């Protein structure tokens, strides 16, 4: 199991194990060599250590010019814990969603007119990907533009029973808006 350098001593193996474990960086054989007891060959010690750890939950691997302990790759999936960190909608997307919710079914030019700003495709795509809006027929007008409406997913996401659960526009506007 070990080359001509002889069988590594248990003391050498313990030291190598501790050193590799505690090091922040991969440990090159020459660094280990400085610590090992007289007569122990660093390469041989590491080879024997790797052999002892083979098949275990943690394995000794050669990376970046040194050795490091790594958890066995087949266990990664079982150890993984997923932390949900939901992101917020960008402001433009939230405004667009609100306008669609209150004015549906509504065309894109109408949304732009209400927001007083043009609508980027990105903003639209975010809402589509999140399945918050959907096309709902076409308007009988020149060019027959697509009408947009909110989805069942929209109601679920905001905890609404139905669209009528949205506060009425009049209740929302405590102050009169500038006339359009």
Partner 1 sequence: MSETGAEGQLLLHLEGFDGPLDVLLELARAQKLDLAGISILALVDQYLAVIEGARRVRLELAADWLVMAAWLAWLKSRLLLPAGSAEAAEGERAAEVLAGRLAALEAMRAAATWLAARPLLGRDVFARGTPESFVAIDRSRLRLDLPALLGAYLAALRRAGAAAHYRPQALSLWTVQDALERLLRLLGSLPDWTSLERFLPEHLARPAERRAALASTLVASLEMARDGALRLRQEEPFGPILLGRAQDAQG
Question: Are the beta carbons of 11 and 35 closer than 8 angstroms?
Answer: no
Stretch that binds partner 1, among 7-15, 38-46, 99-107, 137-145 (CB under 8 A): 99-107
Residue (of 111, 113, 116, 118) closest to 149 by Cα position: 111
Instruction: Give the span between the Cα atoms of 8 and 54, in whole angstroms.
Output: 17
If phi > 0 it is left, if psi is from -120 to 50 it is alpha, else beta; for residue 137 that is left
Which CB atom, from 42 or from 106, has the smaller least distance to a second copy?
42
Q: By rule CB under 8 A, what string of x and - marks binding of each residue 79-98 to partner 1?
A: xxxxxxxxxxx-xx-xx-xx
Q: How far apart are CA 18 and CA 180, in angstroms?
A: 75
Core vs surface per residue 56-92: b (16+ CB within 10 A) or e: eeeebeeeeebbbbeeeeeeeeeeeeeeeeeeeeeeb
The footprint of partner 1 on residues 136-175 (CB under 8 A) is 156-160, 166-167, 169, 172-173, 175
| Residue 89's binding partner out of partner 1, a second copy, none, with CB under 5 to 8 Å set by partner kind | partner 1
For the bound state, the minimum distance from the C-beta of residue 68 to a second copy, rounded and expressed in Å, comes to 11
CB nearer to partner 1: give 16 or 97. 97
Closer by beta carbon to partner 1, 3 or else 162:
162
- Least Å distance between CB 178 and partner 1? 4
* Residues of span 16-35 touching partner 1 by CB under 8 A: 18, 21-25
Smallest separation, CB 38 to partner 1 (Å)? 21
Q: Which residue has the tokens 């079914």?
A: 105
- C-alpha to C-alpha distance for 129 and 121, rounded to whole angstroms: 12
30-33: long-range contacts, CB 8 A cutoff, minimum separation 24: 31/66
List residues near partner 1 by CB under 8 A: 18, 21-25, 61, 68-73, 76, 79-89, 91-92, 94-95, 97-99, 101-102, 113-118, 130, 156-160, 166-167, 169, 172-173, 175-180
């Amino acid at each position: 199991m070990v080359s001509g350098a002889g069988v590594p001593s248990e003391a050498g193996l313990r030291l190598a194990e501790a050193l590799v474990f505690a090091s922040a960086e991969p440990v090159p054989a020459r660094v280990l060599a400085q610590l090992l007891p007289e007569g122990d060959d660093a390469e041989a010690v590491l080879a024997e250590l790797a052999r002892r750890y083979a098949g275990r939950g943690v394995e000794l691997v050669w990376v970046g010019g040194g050795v490091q302990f790594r958890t066995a790759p087949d266990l990664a999936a079982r150890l993984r814990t997923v932390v949900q960190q939901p992101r917020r909608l960008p402001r433009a997307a939230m405004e667009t969603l609100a306008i669609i919710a209150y004015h549906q079914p509504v065309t894109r030019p109408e949304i732009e007119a209400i927001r007083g700003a043009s609508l980027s495709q990105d903003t639209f795509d975010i809402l589509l990907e999140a399945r918050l809006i959907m096309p709902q027929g076409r308007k009988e007008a020149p060019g027959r533009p697509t009408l947009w409406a909110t989805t069942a997913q929209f109601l679920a996401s905001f905890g609404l029973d139905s669209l009528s659960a949205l506060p009425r526009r009049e209740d929302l506007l405590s102050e009169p808006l500038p006339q359009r």
